[in-house]
Amino acid sequence: MPTYEFRCKACGATFDVKRPMTEASTPAPCPQGHDDTVKLLSMAGLSGKATQSAPQAGGGGCCGGGCCS
């Protein structure tokens, strides 16, 4: 079940809620009892190193590898 992060506008608390994706946008009360909360944009799964890197200049090929006479 996905975890969604919310922030309370009244007290500034940030908290997580586990719920089905079908309820992702449903408001969640803060643990302090306030109802004015917003769902935060989560970047879960996007941290860490990228799986692909950009090609390096001069790494080969006809114009960078010295195969042209």
- Confidence (pLDDT) at 46: 54
pLDDT in tens, 13-60: 999 999 999 999 899 999 999 999 999 987 665 555 555 555 555 555
Spell out the domain ranges in the chain: 1-22+31-42
Confidence of residue 67 (pLDDT cuts 50, 70, 90): low
- Can you tell me the distance from the alpha carbon of 2 to that of 39, in angstroms, rounded to the nearest whole number? 13
For residue 65, the model assigns a pLDDT of: 58
Give the CA dihedral 10, 38, 36, 34, nearest 10 degrees: -70
Give the pLDDT confidence score for residue 49 in this predicted structure.
Answer: 53
Number of Cβ atoms within 10 Å of the Cβ of 22: 7
| The model's pTM | 0.59
